[in-house]
Structures are given as C-alpha cells and as structure tokens.
Structure 1
Amino acid sequence: MCLKNSRRDFLEKTWKLTSLGGAGLLTAGGSPGSSGMIRSSIAQYRPSGAAGEIRPQRYYRPADGTLGDPIPFFWKGHYHIFHVGGGQWEHLVSEDLLRWRELPTAISRGVPGEPDSSQCASGSIIHRQGTFHIFYLGRSEKDGRRIGTVCHATSRDLVHWEKDPANPLLRPDYENYAGVTKDPFVFWNAQDQRYWMLIADRLRHAPTSRKGVLALATSPDLQRWQRRQEPFWAPDSSTGEFEVPDLFEWNRRYYLTYTTYMESTGTHYRVADQASGPWLAPAVDSFDDHLYYAGKTVSDGKRRLAFAFVRGAGAGPGVAPADRKQALITREVLQKPDGSLAFKCPQELLDCCGPELPLKFEGLLGHWSQQDRRAHARRLDGLAYAVTEPVAPDGLLELVLTLKPKTRSAGIFFRTTGDLERGYMLRLEPSRGRIVFERWPKSWPWKQEFWRNIGAARGTHPFMVQRTVLPEQFSWERPVTVQLFLQGTIAEVFVNQELALVARIYEHRDGCLALFVEHGEADFEGMTFRPLP
C-alpha cells in the first residue's frame, strides 16, 4: 500500500510539473519559468572570484579519474554531460566545451534491497513538457547473481533528481533474452506516436554465439512501458553484446550508434531511412579505434557533437594514478552527401590554443629544401626526416601534407629525440589505406605491455591504433590537412576535417617534433605549433 501511495504521489507531482507547459518532446524548448529555475540551480555551483576560476581542459578528467559512458544533453545554452562514475551518475556542465563545472551527483546507488543498490549505470535523458526524465540501468545482486533492470528518475532543473518509487520500471525478460537489460535509450517515434526504448541485451536462442541484440519497449507517456516480443535490431553478426545505444534523425536519415567490446572494441553506427530500419552498414562504420569508447551524440540546434571517453591504462603495478584516468573527448560530427559521418575538431577547441610558436626543422636524412613554412622531402630508398629543437609537450601542430604518387608513408614524429631513439609517430600510409599512431621502440617488457593495455581490444597490437581510409573518402595525391593535438597522455589527430584518431601516450612526456617521408616524396606546408592551455 505504501509503494502504491508513493507511486501515486510521484505521478501526481510529475503531472503537475509537466502541466506547467513547455515545447516539443525532444527539443530544447521549456517554459520561461523552468528556464529561469534551471539557470539559478546551475549558477549555485559557479565558482566565484579568481580562486574559483575553472581551468580550461581540452580533455576533461575528473579529480578521481572515474569517468565513463558520457550521456550528453543540451539545454538553454549549456552542454550537460551525465556520466557513470563510481557506480552512480555524476554531472558536468559547460558553456564552451572547455570549462566544465562539476554539479552534485545526479543519481546515487540505492540502499540494499533496491534495484540499483549495486550500480546506477548508463542510460539516457529526455525532456517532456517541463520535466526531465532519466532512464538508466539499475543493478543489484541476489544470491550471488547480478540483476539488471530499467530504472527511472525525474527532475525540474536538471540538478536535483528524484527516483521513481515504482522502480524498476522493467525487469529482465528471461523468456526471450539473456536478461542483460542494460543502457536504455528513449526517444519519441513520430511515426508510431509513442516513446520507444532501446535496451541492450542478448538473445536467449540464436543460431550463432553472436547474440547481441537491441530489445524494444514502448510507452505513450514515459510512465507505462510495455515490452515488444520482437527485438528492435538483431543482426546476428555484429557482437555478443551491445552497449550504450543511441538513435537520432538527421536530414531525413536515421542513425543508430552503439559500442561493442567483444569481437571488436569501439563505437560504430548504422544508417536507415526510417526509425525502424533496416539498418545498413557504411563502408567504414566506426567512429575511431578501440581507445574511443561509449560514444553518444547530441545536437545544440546548430551542429551535432559526439562525446565519448578515452580509455586509460590498467591498474597494474607501476602504473601512475594519473595514467589510469579516463578522459572526456569531444568532436563535431558532419554528415556527408552519401549519409556517412565525418568528424572534425569543434571550433572552440581550436580557438583556445595559444599564440603560434616558431618552428625550425633541420634536415638530417634525405633531400630537404625549405622556405618559410614550406618543406619538400625526398628519398626513394629509405627514410628522410627533419627535426626541431625540443618544443612544449602540449600543443597543436597544424600542417598540410601532399604525398607524391607511390610514396610509402609520411607523417610526424613527436616527443622524440634528434636521432629518433624514442618517441611517437603519426604515419599516413597510402599503400595500406590507413592512418596510424605508433610508438618507438616497440619492444617494451611484456608485463608492462599487459598492464598498460589491460582492457584493450582483443587481437590488437597495443603499440598502435589505426583508421582505415577508403579511396572515396579522399585522394592521397591531393593536399591533406593535419591537426595533431598533444596534451598530457593523449594524442588526437584530425585529417581533412573528416577522420579522427586518438591514442594514449604514457612513456615519453617531452621532446622534439620531426617531419618524415619514407620511400617517396612529400611536401609539408603551413607548419604551425600553438601551445594548449
């Protein structure tokens, strides 16, 4: 009786809040009253005075290092990032993608006996008529068995959240699925005139071991949910399990994004002409390689941004606490005419860089000719390289690279030495159709390798991440723009404002820059280096 009464009070309170008015179901509308309350709630946590200034961070890391599964939400000029940290939902907010304020914990773990007593894991957030709704994975344990359920919470101001007394809203479906019941994503399906919830699970019965599936539940009001027997998507080929699904419509195309960690690790996407599918794979379906994880997107009304976290090192012996930290990574998403997605650096993150520092390269191998910010390198039978004096460890290096026909590779050494004894390499390889981050030397002790890359994708080389480049994406024989960010233990590159790749760089913290070409000829133009804040 008490549960029914508390549930009734919760629904009545929700009805009063939603009846206050507001704009569309999935848009950042809201009434003037609620907008003012949200601004005042967030403003309480704004630092005051010089001592409280927020340091800009290109890659935000929380103090305790526990950042995972970012859930982005844009509202009234603010970018909100809810993320899973320490088994509960933490909350960040920013107006410029650089200065992130930590707000109070949004959803904490429940007490023993509640469906989220072990963990409050990933999910989604949606606005409806003045009220914000979070749907999340609540985990508990019973008789040594972990149980996943769908739980619900609401808020008027995005800061203070109240759990639904009726939690869990959905329990595992053991008849049709394995009962994983994780990472619910909720959206309004205009064609069906109902809310749809995608739930990551595994098929109970399937002809292959790749049983990863997205189950489906629907609701008319975000309160009453009914599971549908048929899954939303069961490809029978992609993975044993999906994580953090996301779905959005963009210029009459629908995009389904998801993350996998079994057969391959990373964030992927599919494209369809309607929200129900069929979901088709583009030629290159990944956002990045295996270090870019749990990517989700959000629109701010002018552009679409993707947020994910960069995986950290394992917690093995000898790994410094700072190296274990996962970091928030932000990219702008572009839609190409054929419906495929491209990625570039948001303008705010370019504008934050400091003044340009002079670079002077000295050619040490091969044939080099230089004038102003232009350099030409040639060596057909081996390596040609030119090196700078030591530079600031954190910065943005920009240049335009043109590879001559039949050139094997060219690129940039960074945090290296004059003799290339150690350091890292960004290598563009036309012959293999890929872009690669690699470190040198590769022969680290195997134990250090194991701990450095614990949790890395199975079957991948821990010293390298790579991106496939198809001929239709861009021509290698035309000028290629390169933007290489270096900050702390992270290296990230944007190529032609289309491809992006991130790597972790733990061993070497300073050194020189060097340009190189291998078995061929290349032009380097417009070389600039600017320090990061």
Structure 2
Amino acid sequence: MEVNRRTALAGCLALGVTLGLAGTGSAAEADLTVGTFAKIYDPSVGESGPWYLNDHTFIRDLDGTWHVFGITHAEPADPDNEISFAHATAPDLHGPWTKQPFALTVDPAYGETHLWAPHVIRVGATYHMFYCGGGAESAVSAINLATSKDLFHWTRDPGGTLFHDGYDARDPYVIRIDGRWVLFYTGNTEPSGGNHVVLYRTSHDLRHWSDRDIAYVSPESGTWGGPTESPFVLRHGRYWYLFTGPRLGYAGTDVHRSDSPFHFDNADLVTHFPAHAAEVVRDHTGWYASHAGWGQGGLYLAPITWARPGGPADTPAGDDVGT
C-alpha cells in the first residue's frame, strides 16, 4: 500500500486533528495505559507568533536539572526548513520550563540541510547528541553526532557523519544492550523506499557503527514519513517495548511487545495512545509519555501505568544509559 504521508499529515492538520483515537488493544492485551496529557512547555514563549516543538528528547544533568531538546520552527509546519534545535531547562520534569538559546544550528559545511530529531545520552561526564542532518538526497540521509560537557555548548564530531541511510533516515534513539550500543532509527527496507521499517545498528564506541539490520517492518510502504517514526525501545520487566508512530492520524502511537529488542511483529501490538513523536521518560514520581508536533501548541506529558511491576533491569529513561 503506497502512502503519501506528507499529504496525509497535512490533511490531518488542516482538519484540526490533534489527539487521535483511544487504545486499540483490549484490557487483557494492554501491558500499559497512558493517562491524560497536560501541557508542560510552549516554545512560542518570547516569539512574535506561534512556534512548534516536534521530535524531542529529555535528559537530566548531573546537578538534577532537566533539559529538553527538539525540532522547532514557527508555525505552520515547515520540515525542510527546520534548521535549529530548541532547548529548555527545568528544575522538575513537570516544570516550570525556561526557554534557552538554540542548542545547535544547521552547518552546511558539515553537509547538513536540516536538523531533525535529536536524542541525547550521557556517558560518564560527556553528553552525546545523535540527530539527522539531512543531505542532498533522501536515500543517503545523514545521522550525525555532537558532544557537550554542559548541554549548552555542542561540538560536532570531527570525523563527520556517522553513517548515511534512507529513505530520509532519521529519529535516532541510542540505548545500551548487553554491553554494546544500539542505535534505532526509522527508514525503509531499501534506502530508496519500500516498506517503512525500524532499523538498528550496533557499536562499541558510539562512533563506528555496524551495517543496518531491521527490528520491525510495517505493512505500509512509501518514502517520506511513515508509521515507523520516533522509534523508542525500552525494557520493562521481562519484555521489550517498541513505540512508533504516527498511527491512525497525526497524533497516534502504537506499542509493540517482544522478548527481544531486535525483533517486533505486527501481531504483538499491545496498545495505542494519542501522541505524536512520543518519548518515554521517568522521574521520582513515575513513568510518562510525551506528545508534541506541528500545530499541537507545545510539549505535553501523560502518566504511564504498567499492568505488571518492572524490575532492576528496566531501561533507564531521562538519565545516563552507560558509563
């Protein structure tokens, strides 16, 4: 099934569609439920008109301050001209959030054409930001790396782009699994198009990455956009969970469950909730899902309730993922 996601998403926005449908799984299937979303931050603060925050990432620094970074631009949606990353800080995950100067701005000399979907982790005393830098062709989209000691001043890796992939390879998410780094991202079965997939690569040093492999294949095909964006993989209890979207409209996220973080089946859908570019984060009060995007008015959080207790091997979220 060929899907023009750019047209579909623009149509959703034109109709004023924001939050999507209720969960598709039955109560017996739902490993988790997501509560009501509440706004925690508006990137329009200090601007002459409305701005949006799209794909984003949370990180808590060594002093306990929370940071959020994300795609940003003045409304309406203009993905090809998203050239700077928003940055805001807060003493608590729920705020109040203070707008900071842009964290990073596109560098044409580095081969960048836009800045999409940052993901930040801390390793020891160094923060690593993985992001999509675009490029001249969507089939060879760049995944780049910048590092920082304070989350305010960022330096691009002098070795250049980590790797290229397509179609519009983007939305990197890095986690440590069994002693190695794993970078999940969205793309297609072939760099030029095909089924929308969640891809992954592995590394021992965060700089040199393996060839691509596939963790999840959507039955939908196309090029731009697709339902495998914003992949977020976490472990809770004995299972691994994959969050992807947009599904059933612009603001919709599906959650699949697996015994392995490297293979998820369509039959293993456990729930659906109304959020776009959802991230999962936790603090001392519990687990939360986020929501943001074009025309959404800012950044939101909603509580996650798990049907079963977690364990000591649960994936960290919002803090460091390795030393």
The TM-score, its normalising length taken from structure 2, stands at: 0.70
Question: C-alpha separation between the residues in 2 aligned to 1:275 and 1:301?
Answer: 25
- Contact map agreement 1:133 1:152 (CA 8 A) in 2: yes
Q: Does 1:103 align with 2:87?
A: no
Aligned to 2:219: 237
The correspondence for 1:308, drawn from 274, 291, 299, is 291
SS at match of 2:276: strand
Cα deviation for residue 264 of structure 1 reads 4.4
The answer to whether the 8 Å contact 2:215/2:264 transfers is: no
Q: Distance in 1 between matches of 2:191 and 2:131?
A: 26
Q: Does 1:154 align with 2:141?
A: no
Indicate conservation of the 8 Å contact 2:40/2:97, yes or no. no
Q: Distance in 1 between matches of 2:162 and 2:65?
A: 29
1:70 is displaced (CA, Å) by 2.1
Residue among 11, 35, 42 paired with 1:61? 42
2:110 paired residue among 104, 110, 114 = 114
1:124 aligned counterpart, secondary structure = strand
- What secondary structure, in the 3-state scheme, does the structure 1 residue paired with 2:57 have? strand
Residue 58 and residue 169 in structure 1: after superposition, are their counterparts in 2 closer, same or farther (change >3 A)? Answer: closer
Q: How does 1:81-230 map to 2 (within 5 A)?
A: 81-86=68-73, 87=82, 88-96=84-92, 97-111=94-108, 113-116=109-112, 118-141=113-136, 147-172=140-165, 178-190=166-178, 193-204=179-190, 211-228=195-212, 230=213
Q: Number of matched residues? A: 252
What is the CA distance between 1:167 and its match in structure 2?
Answer: 2.1
Tell me if structure 2 keeps the 8 A contact 1:269–1:281: no
- Show the counterpart of 1:332: 303
Residue by residue over 1:326-381, the C-alpha shift from the partner in whole angstroms, topping out at 9 and shown as x without a partner, is 31111121111399xxxxxxxxxxxxxxxxxxxxxxxxxxxxxxxxxxxxxxxxxx
- The verdict on how the C-alpha distance between 1:201 and 1:59 changes in structure 2, with shifts beyond 3 A counting, is same
Gap regions ≥5 residues in structure 1? 1-56, 173-177, 313-324, 340-533
Give the distance between the partners of 1:152 and 1:69, measured in 2 at CA.
16
| Letter of the 1:91 counterpart | H
Q: Measure how far apart 1:122 and its partner are.
A: 0.4
Q: State the percentage of identical aligned residues.
A: 23
Distance 1:214 1:201, change over 3 A: same
Q: CA deviation at 1:128?
A: 1.0
Q: How far apart, in 2, do the equivalents of 1:338 and 1:271 lie?
A: 15
| C-alpha separation in 1, matches of 2:241 and 2:59 | 17
Contact conserved, 1:186 with 1:196, CA < 8 A, in 2? Answer: yes
Name the amino acid aligned to 1:168. Answer: T
> Tell me, what secondary structure is at the counterpart of 1:135?
strand
The 3 A distance-change label for structure 1 pair 270 and 159 is: same
- Supply the distance in 1 between the matched residues of 2:183 and 2:303 (Cα, whole angstroms): 26
- Larger RCO of the pair (alpha carbons < 8 Å, separation 6+): 2
Residues 171-212 of structure 1: CA distance to partner in whole angstroms, max 9, x if unpaired?
12xxxxx5321111111012xx21111121111299xx9701
Greater CA radius of gyration, 1 or 2?
1
* C-alpha distance in structure 2 between counterparts of 1:74 and 1:81, whole Å: 9
2:238 aligned partner: 252
- Contact 2:72 2:86 survives alignment (8 Å): yes
CA distance 1:283–1:134, change in 2 (3 Å): closer
Q: Deviations over 1:230-277 (max 9, x none)?
A: 31222x42564321111111223211111126x744222111223223
Deviates most, 148-157 or 266-275:
266-275
User: For the residues of structure 1 that align with 2:210 and 2:39, how far apart are their CA atoms?
Assistant: 42
One-letter amino acid matched to 1:170: F
Offset of residue 283 of structure 1:
6.2
CA-based RMSD = 2.8
Q: Which runs of 5+ in 2 are unaligned?
A: 1-37, 74-81, 311-323
